[in-house]
């Protein structure tokens, strides 16, 4: 089995050394940099399988690195986990809205981070060889992780890709936030329900300009609210 490539962007030398040791022990090929600009160059030269990104790094900020990785074609689907001491809800939401797939607040357990990385990679790389999903002129290649409409690629982050996949697999169904959290993030996830709204909004923004017939509805905050998939 090929080693997963990780890009670690962290300017705390002792923490970086600890993380490199833990992930190398888990058979990851880790590239480490303390600089945001260098991180973008490394990611462009050899796109990683996952990025661990500190919010406060040298050069440009981690949040800007995240934004640029999401804009670049070669890294737009690479999962990103933010590492930061900023634990306020507003900061977490900002990180997720910028394109992060998970948000880990310092201090944290390296073992927990290893587990989170493993969970993200399992979700992003489902073992469904040869499976394709479609709705109207929207097509999803679950192996190549590409979504197209009329031959044009729709750029989606890993979490939005999984949400759309779940919707395409259950056309016409209505899902509560809790159900989506279980199905898309996993039963053991401690992600807040507001996170669902963030990713649904990003999915709608990506899809709505391209199709008026497929647009996941925003889940309501009331107890009975939910997110509806398109009817097949």
Is there a contact between 174 and 228 (Cβ–Cβ < 8 Å)? yes
CA distance 77 to 89: 25
Collapsed DSSP state (helix, strand, coil) of residue 7: strand
- Output the tens digit of pLDDT for each of the chain's 232 residues: 457 889 999 989 999 999 999 999 988 899 999 999 999 999 999 889 899 999 888 888 889 999 999 999 888 888 899 988 776 777 777 778 888 888 888 888 888 999 888 888 877 654 323 357 778 778 887 766 788 877 788 888 888 998 998 888 887 778 888 888 888 887 666 777 788 888 888 888 887 754 444 555 444 433 334 555 544 4
Q: Which pLDDT belongs to residue 169?
A: 80
Q: Report d(CA 232, CA 224) in Å as an integer.
A: 23
What integer pLDDT is reported at residue 206 of this predicted model? Answer: 85
Which has the closest alpha carbon to 14: 88, 107, 93? 107
Q: What pLDDT is recorded for position 22?
A: 93
**Which tokens in the block code for residue 91?**
């900061």
Question: d(Cα 215, Cα 80) in Å, to the nearest integer?
Answer: 25
pLDDT of amino acid 41: 95
Using DSSP, state whether 21 is helix, strand or coil: helix
Residue 27 has a pLDDT of: 85
28-33 and 4-9 beta bridge pairing: parallel
User: What pLDDT shows up at residue 191?
Assistant: 73
Q: What is the pTM of this model?
A: 0.55
The pLDDT assigned to 20 comes to: 95
What's residue 124's pLDDT?
A: 67
Nearest CA-CA partner of 205 in 101, 126, 97, 46: 97
Query: Quick one: pLDDT at residue 127?
Result: 37
User: 136 exposed, middle or buried (CB, 10 Å; 0-12, 13-18, 19+)?
Assistant: exposed
Strands 132-135 and 138-141: antiparallel
Domains in the chain, start-ordered, CATH in brackets?
A: 4-124 (3.40.50.2300), 132-228 (1.10.10.10)
């Amino acid at each position: 089995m090929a080693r997963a490539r990780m890009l670690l962007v962290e300017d705390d030398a002792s923490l970086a050394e600890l993380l490199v040791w833990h992930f190398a022990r888990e058979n990851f090929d880790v590239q480490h940099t303390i600089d945001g600009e260098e991180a973008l160059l490394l990611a462009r030269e050899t796109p990683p399988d996952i990025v661990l990104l500190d919010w406060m790094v040298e050069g440009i900020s981690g949040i800007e690195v995240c934004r640029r990785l999401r804009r670049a074609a070669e890294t737009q689907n690479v999962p990103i986990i933010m590492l930061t001491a900023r634990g306020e809800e507003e900061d977490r939401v900002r990180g997720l809205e910028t394109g992060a797939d998970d948000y880990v607040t310092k201090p944290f357990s390296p073992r927990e981070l290893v587990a989170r990385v493993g969970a993200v990679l399992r979700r992003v790389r489902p073992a469904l060889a040869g499976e394709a999903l479609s709705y109207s002129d929207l097509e999803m290649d679950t192996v190549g992780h590409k979504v197209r409409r009329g031959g044009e690629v729709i750029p989606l982050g890993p979490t939005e890709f999984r949400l759309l996949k779940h919707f395409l697999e259950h056309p016409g169904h209505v899902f509560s936030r809790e159900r989506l959290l279980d199905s898309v993030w996993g039963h053991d996830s401690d992600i807040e329900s507001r996170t669902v709204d963030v990713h649904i909004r990003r999915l709608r923004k990506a899809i709505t300009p391209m199709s008026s017939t497929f647009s996941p509805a925003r889940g309501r905050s009331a107890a009975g609210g939910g997110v509806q998939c398109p009817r097949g």
